[in-house]
Amino acid sequence: MNQVLRALNDPSRRRMLELLREKDLTAGELAAHFEMSKPSVSHHLDLLRQAELVVSVKKGQFVYYSINTSVLEDLMFWLVTLKKN
């Protein structure tokens, strides 16, 4: 859970998740939405992947990233149950 919260702490990573909510994207496609270097985008994606917020699939020579909603659902469940206690 700590990795998830740390990953969500950054506005750029939250924006990446918003973009991935619309459709699967490559790192290059994501980078086009940000004013940061491609290595920085890759670093953010790696942190999101470590937190299991995104999954990656290689298709040909490209790696596509997609959002993993089950981790977000688990987080939401935890937050809701936390509020009830």
- Enter the pTM of the model: 0.86
Supply the range of the domain harboring residue 45: 2-84
Query: pLDDT tens for residues 7-28?
Result: 999 999 999 999 999 999 999 9
Q: How many structural domains are present in the chain?
A: 1
Query: pLDDT tens for residues 39-70?
Result: 999 999 999 999 999 999 999 999 999 999 88
Q: CB-based burial of residue 67 (10 Å sphere; 0-12 exposed, 13-18 middle, 19+ buried)? A: buried
The CATH number of whichever domain residue 40 belongs to comes to: 1.10.10.10
Rounded to 5 degrees, what are φ and ψ at 58?
-85, 125
